[in-house]
Amino acid sequence: MARIVFCEDEEQIRKLIEVAMRATAHRIEMTTNGREGLNAIERVTPDLIVTDLAMPDMNGFALADAVRARSSMRHIPIMFITASVQRGEVAEFASHGAAGYLAKPFSPQALREKIDALLAGAAAVS
Amino acid sequence: MLCLAAFSIVAAYVVQTLVADARGNEVLHDNYLNANVALLADEAMQLESLVLPSAANDADRTAADQRVIDAFNKIAAQTGRADAELAKDLLRLHAQYINVYSGIAAAAAAGDQAEVIRLHDIEDPLYHTMRDRIAEATEVAHAEAKSAFGKLDASSLLMLTLAPVVFAIGFALLFGLWRILEQADRARGKTYREIEQLSKLRGEFVSTVSHEFRTPLTGIQGFSEMMRDDALTIAQMREYAGDINKDARRLARLISDMLDLDRMESGLMTVATNPVDLNSIVADTAAQFRLSSVAHPIELDLDEGLPRLSGDSDHFTQVVTNLLSNAIKYSPGGGAVEMRTRRDASSVMLTVRDHGMGIPTEQLEKIFERYSRIDTPATRAIQGTGLGLPIVRQIVELYEGKVWATSESGEGSVFHVRLPLVMSATLVSRAA
């Protein structure tokens, strides 16, 4: 069982993620923007962060940069969910320390598999 | 250039005619004048092929070079006279002159201005030495055949006086031509930048639209997959079907917005003349938004005596919806939105005021243009197609009204819509 913090501003997608994650044993913390997400990450120190890119207040990149700037959180893998994967963007994800990304539209199964793969990878590293 | 060419042709013609009239012992003088003319033409061709390099001009220039050499050779054929020695000198000077000019052409092609100037300083005395020596010899020959050259003398003097003037005029014309070409090039650069900007806007629009499509598609794909693959209760099935439906509607709205705008911009949208109660449209729209926007209390200040407008209630509903949704969207920190209706002598006013991020003054007009959303870190996170306000403007202008925005930075924005109470005759005829 892992703890995962999600950041997603779109209500429908938040709901989809919540429903999709019900089928897993993971404990999820759902937030609606980067700032809330950062608070949640500080509070629970999750095993994985999954964040949307385009969000009000603090976007996914800003959140990732803030997380990586804190030594206590730097090790937490981050996955971006994005609605527009274009050439060159994947490299940008890596520069913000992404461990993985998922393009919208995604299937709940793909989300779960990607999360499990990232958690397994993180476990192997630690 | 034309001036120089015309001058050379006229001079050659005059000289040819006069020399033909002169007696046989004036052949030498004739030769000198021919050499002079050939040299003038050569200089002109050198300049022309320098300014307008082309195979044709190069060929002409080579021919002009050859004419000078031929003319000098003719003088050199006067064996036993000092003129033969002079002609050899001239041939040597001319060979150097051609060399220097090809150096200038190469330097000009390479854009080496300093080298051009340096070589020009070598070329100029060479040219003038040739000219001077020819002129000197011409005078000698002239003195020898004074009586026959009475007429020719006057003409050649006139030509010599005119040469620098013609040269100056030719040079001024060349300079003018160069300026025109330069300006044309600058205009081309500007057009290119405008096209580039437009294509960038289009690219941004496509990326925004694709983002807007992918978000509801995620819901549709995700919930439908769960309905297919998971063991769900009937209640869950219904709930997810409702979610899919919501996203499908969002997609449909997006598509119809895009199509609406296209239709409006192509002038294909038709006006209607049904009586429309703007107050009730404002109240209904506000009621709908209140359900989903708790952080934005919507306050109404409606003019009870507002007369009915003439039009299509769907059109006016879209105006109110887009303005209200905009006000809420660009007030991410919450805050009241006020909608107000008023009438004056000839029109109805609708204002929508928010307390959001406001609009920079220079963007107040631009926001009504298609594809243009204000791009700042604060707005980047707000999703929108950039179509809402262009649609509002299209509709309002269709009904001969006006829409504009005012804003004080940090104080929120106010959108004003003025709709005329009476439709113009042309509009009524279009509606019918």
Do B286 and B425 lie in a common domain?
yes
A15 touches chain B (CB under 8 A): yes
pLDDT recorded at residue B373: 61
Question: Which one of B265, B292, B316 terminates a domain?
Answer: B265
- Domains identified in chain A, total number: 1
Question: In this structure, which amino acid lies at residue B329?
Answer: K
Q: How far is A18 from chain B (nearest CA, A)?
A: 11
B249 touches chain A (CB under 8 A): no
Structural domain includes residue B399: yes
pLDDT recorded at residue A71: 87
Structural domain includes residue B292: yes
Residue B343's domain is classified under what CATH number?
A: 3.30.565.10
Q: What are the average pLDDT values for consecutive 10-residue runs of chain B, which has 432 residues?
A: 74 74 67 85 84 84 88 79 82 89 86 87 88 86 72 78 85 91 92 87 74 86 92 92 89 82 78 90 92 86 91 91 91 89 92 90 85 60 73 91 88 93 77 62
Closest CA to A55 of A107, A113, A115, A6: A6
CA distance linking residue B116 with residue B154, whole number of Å: 37
Q: With CB atoms and an 8 Å threshold, state whether B226 touches A108.
A: yes
Do B412 and B324 lie in a common domain?
yes
Q: Identify the burial level of B237 via C-beta atoms within 10 angstroms of its C-beta, where 0-12 means exposed, 13-18 middle and 19 or more buried.
A: middle
Structural domain includes residue B317: yes
pLDDT recorded at residue B314: 87
Mutate to test the interface with A, among B204, B209, B215, B244 (most CBs of A within 10 A): B215
CA distance linking residue B214 with residue B206, whole number of Å: 12
pLDDT recorded at residue B375: 60
Do B83 and B130 lie in a common domain?
yes
Do B140 and B218 lie in a common domain?
no
| φ/ψ of residue B341, rounded to 5 | -120, 145
Convert the pLDDT of each residue in A43-102 to its tens digit.
999 999 999 987 766 788 899 999 999 888 889 999 999 876 666 677 788 888 888 889
Q: How far is A101 from chain B (nearest CA, A)?
A: 15
For residue A61, give the chain B residue with the closest CA.
B381
β-bridge mates for residue B339, sequence order: B300, B352
Question: Which one of B88, B120, B148 terminates a domain?
Answer: B148
Interface of B with A in 150-169 (CB under 8 A): none
Convert the pLDDT of each residue in B169-202 to its tens digit.
888 988 999 999 999 999 999 999 988 888 887 7
Structural domain includes residue B167: no
DSSP collapsed to 3 states, A68-117: HHCCCCCCCCEEEEECCCCCCHHHHHHHCCEEEEEECCCCHHHHHHHHHH
Closest CA to A76 of A13, A123, A24, A12: A123
CA distance linking residue A115 with residue A50, whole number of Å: 9
For residue A20, give the chain B residue with the closest CA.
B226
Question: Which one of B242, B265, B288 terminates a domain?
Answer: B265
Q: Which two tokens stand for residue A61?
A: 């990149």
Please report, for residues A67, A85, B109, B333, B430, the alpha-carbon distance to residue A63 in angstroms, rounded to integers and kept in the order given.
Answer: 6, 19, 55, 19, 55
Closest CA to B389 of B326, B341, B330, B340: B326
Do B210 and B126 lie in a common domain?
no
- Domains identified in chain B, total number: 3
pLDDT recorded at residue B351: 96
Residue B210's domain is classified under what CATH number?
A: 1.10.287.130
Do B117 and B257 lie in a common domain?
no
Do B133 and B226 lie in a common domain?
no
Do B234 and B326 lie in a common domain?
no
pLDDT recorded at residue B384: 65
For residue A105, give the chain B residue with the closest CA.
B218
* Domain span holding position A102: 3-125
* Residues B237, B227 contacting (CB under 8 angstroms): yes
CA distance linking residue B239 with residue A18, whole number of Å: 14
Do B241 and B315 lie in a common domain?
no
- β-pairing, A48-52 vs A3-7, is parallel
A12 touches chain B (CB under 8 A): yes
* Residues B383, B211 contacting (CB under 8 angstroms): yes
pLDDT recorded at residue B382: 63
Closest CA to B224 of B214, B210, B237, B211: B237
Structural domain includes residue B406: yes
B330 touches chain A (CB under 8 A): no
CA distance linking residue B241 with residue B307, whole number of Å: 43
Closest CA to B205 of B244, B129, B261, B150: B261
Binning pLDDT at 50, 70 and 90, where does residue A117 land? very high
pTM to 2 decimals?
0.50
What lies within 8 Å, CB to CB, of B207 at 6+ separation is: A84, A86
Convert the pLDDT of each residue in B244-268 to its tens digit.
998 898 888 788 878 887 788 777 7
Do B258 and B278 lie in a common domain?
no
Residue A78's domain is classified under what CATH number?
A: 3.40.50.2300
* Domain span holding position B290: 274-431
* Residues A59, B381 contacting (CB under 8 angstroms): yes
